[in-house]
Amino acid sequence: MDRRLKYSEHSKKLVLVVDDESVNRQMLGYIVSSEYEVIYAENGVDALEKIHSFQDTLSMILLDLLMPGMNGFELLEILKSDENLRQIPVIVLTSEKDAEVRSLKLGAADFITKPYDMPEVIMARIGRIIELAEDRMIIMHTERDELTGLYTKDYFMEYCAELDQFYPDWEMDAVAVDIEHFHLVNELHGRYYGDRVLSLLAESLRQVLSEDADGYVCRYEADMFYMYCTHMDSYEKVEQRIAEALKDMLHTDRIRVRYGVYPKVDREVEMAQRFDRARLACNRIRNNFMQSIAYYDTEIHDTSIFEEKLIHDIRGGLERGDLIVYYQPKYNVQGDKPVLASAEALIRWKHPELGMISPGAFIPLFENNGLIQLLDHYVWEKAAAQIHEWKQKYGKSVPVSVNVSRIDLYEPKLEDRLLELLKKEEIEPADYLLEITESAYAEDSGHLIDVVSRLRSRGFRVEMDDFGSGYSSLNMLTTLPIDALKMDMKFVRHVHEDVKSQRMIELVIEIADYLSVPVIAEGVEEEEQVQILKDAGCQIIQGYFFSRPLPPEEFEKLLL
């Protein structure tokens, strides 16, 4: 503990005066007591007893060297060997110059020469040494992470900067190290086990720096570690050695560690940004159990710059109308002639600088950072307004399906928001179809069933999107409130070439028949695919065979 915290603002610091001569003790005590509380010891044995008694509050030891029994040198050796006691500063009292070097080697901080003829010098030295000792204690307790003993992030960054300064020619790597799904480790095994994992990983990283490279390592936050080290051509051996060490100590191979490496850092880049790049590489392989090490390169750099620009520009793009809602028609194919049944609202981004941006570039990005809700609300409003416009213009209603993301399902006022939107545009819930992915149903089925049931009770029809992507159990399907199954397009892609794909489609349609809901197939591009799907009993088809997604003015031609 920092001894400074033991004192209030008005308390005197405690000083121990150790001298076998009573006159010297009283004389020095008289000088020191003007500013400090003083206790006394007649010899080394007495002093050691008092040091143990007052070690948490003792700020200084003034130690005579020549005493009977245990002398000052012997006491210094004892203090030096004790991790806690050696933190207490000692000023040696001596008139012998030869004793100074030996005392310094044993840990003495300074000297006061006998006789004590300059009180102001004595007080200045004591005050300065106490201040330096207290500052050192503060640094000790803020420099290191309490759990792992590694540097804390602030000191780590400072020491890395110093390393750059003193070794400007060294090629350095910035490395981010993270434990995959560490929160589950704590939840499954308890906090004590989780702390043990962190400590073992810290020790393994420290071992890397002692055997394979020079540099520093810190626990940056939670289960994220940063390492700044001389360049290594490969980290595969490091990864293997650490994995084996964790397995040996924890008796499990289920602790997976990811490494992001920014090799041969550009020293023109700020230190914190170097580790941002390493961390970005590390995060690129989250949930990728085939890869444990990722290297930051030009491609990752360009992708991160591109994604940051999209994140920065999305709000302005929505305000300016750069994002346009397109509509892809869905056709009922069960009759003699395909009939327009509905449409799906699909977003497109016509960026003023980057041109048309594929939804595949920005939708997953916004799903990961929470901005997808902005996009969803925008599409909901545009689609509702478009349904109203077509209804007024052509006297007919074209149902339009919109995507409802996972995050939307946890919005407390989701139902009210949708109903207010329909009221504003004077359209019916039956005109407004909601698409929810199969993975969302599987994530929190109890909550989702409750939300969807309330929406359906208000007249909304709900389609399960991407059905067959591998999340649902057959047992769960029987309890889900849905109005249509939208088949994952991977089933359609090779249906005209592969008998197994045809059989899978037949199975999906059998499931839909059991649930008494229609099947929608998307991604249909070939006439042969249409015929196979129709013969199998698929009711609704969308895809490039009928039409690509169209801007509103082109879609209107289908209504004439």
- Ranges in the chain annotated CATH 3.30.70.270: 153-296
Q: What percent of the chain has pLDDT over 70?
A: 95
CATH pick for 3-143 out of 3.40.50.300, 3.30.450.20, 3.30.70.20, 3.40.50.2300 = 3.40.50.2300
Single pTM value for the model = 0.63
DSSP state, 117? -
Q: State CA 68 to chain mean position distance.
A: 62
Cβ(99)–Cβ(93) below 8 Å:
no
Phi, psi angle pair for 487, to nearest 5°: -70, 135
Per-residue CA distances from 27 to 41, 67, 158, 320 (Å): 14, 17, 45, 84
pLDDT for residue 474: 60
Q: Residue 279 corresponds to which amino acid? A: R
Q: Which residues pair with 350 in a beta bridge?
A: 356
Question: Any idea which residue has 């076998």 for tokens?
Answer: 20
Query: 153-296: what fold?
Result: Alpha-Beta Plaits (3.30.70)
Q: Confidence class of residue 60 from pLDDT cuts 50, 70 and 90? A: very high
Burial (0-12, 13-18, 19+ Cβ within 10 Å), 377:
middle
Q: Vertex 156, ends 241 and 87: CA angle to 5°?
A: 100
How do residues 251-263 score in pLDDT, each as one tens digit?
887 889 999 999 9
Cβ(462)–Cβ(486) below 8 Å:
no
Q: Is the pLDDT of residue 427 over 90?
A: yes
Cβ(332)–Cβ(540) below 8 Å:
yes
Q: What percent of the chain has pLDDT over 90?
A: 58
Q: Residue 449 corresponds to which amino acid? A: I
How do residues 151-192 score in pLDDT, each as one tens digit?
999 999 999 999 999 999 999 999 999 998 888 888 788 889
Q: Is the pLDDT of residue 445 over 50?
A: yes
Q: Is the pLDDT of residue 550 over 90?
A: yes
Q: Vertex 84, ends 82 and 89: CA angle to 5°?
A: 95
- Ranges in the chain annotated CATH 3.20.20.450: 306-559
In this prediction, residues 215-231 reach a mean pLDDT of 95
Q: Is the pLDDT of residue 284 over 60?
A: yes
How do residues 336-391 score in pLDDT, each as one tens digit?
899 999 999 999 999 999 999 989 999 988 988 889 999 999 999 999 999 999 99
Cβ(226)–Cβ(155) below 8 Å:
no
Which of 124-138, 251-265, 314-328 comes out lowest in average pLDDT?
A: 124-138
Please give the Cα distance from 165 to 44 (Å, whole number).
46
Tokens of 532: 């196979």
Q: Confidence class of residue 441 from pLDDT cuts 50, 70 and 90? A: low
Reduced to 3 states (helix: H, G, I; strand: E, B; else coil), residue 437 is strand
Q: Is the pLDDT of residue 470 over 60?
A: no
Cβ(383)–Cβ(391) below 8 Å:
no
Tokens of 237: 């051996």
Please give the Cα distance from 407 to 417 (Å, whole number).
14
Please give the Cα distance from 261 to 295 (Å, whole number).
5
Q: Is the pLDDT of residue 87 over 80?
A: yes
Query: 306-559: what fold?
Result: TIM Barrel (3.20.20)
Please give the Cα distance from 276 to 176 (Å, whole number).
9
Q: Is the peptide bond before 115 cis (omega within 30 degrees of 0)?
A: yes
pLDDT for residue 2: 43
How do residues 484-511 score in pLDDT, each as one tens digit?
999 888 888 878 777 888 888 888 899 8
- Ranges in the chain annotated CATH 3.40.50.2300: 3-143
Please give the helix or strand (H or E) that residue 451 lies within, else none.
helix 445-457
Tokens of 147: 């759990």
Cβ(44)–Cβ(64) below 8 Å:
no
Runs of H (alpha helix) within 474-526: 474-477, 490-493, 499-515
Q: Is the pLDDT of residue 512 over 60?
A: yes
Sign of the dihedral through C-alpha 176, 181, 187, 188? negative
Please give the Cα distance from 408 to 411 (Å, whole number).
5
Sign of the dihedral through C-alpha 199, 201, 205, 210? positive
pLDDT for residue 3: 42
Please give the Cα distance from 359 to 52 (Å, whole number).
70
Reduced to 3 states (helix: H, G, I; strand: E, B; else coil), residue 250 is helix
How do residues 7-28 score in pLDDT, each as one tens digit?
444 468 999 999 999 988 889 9
Give me the chain's average pLDDT, please. Answer: 89
Per-residue CA distances from 517 to 172, 276, 286, 488 (Å): 60, 49, 37, 16
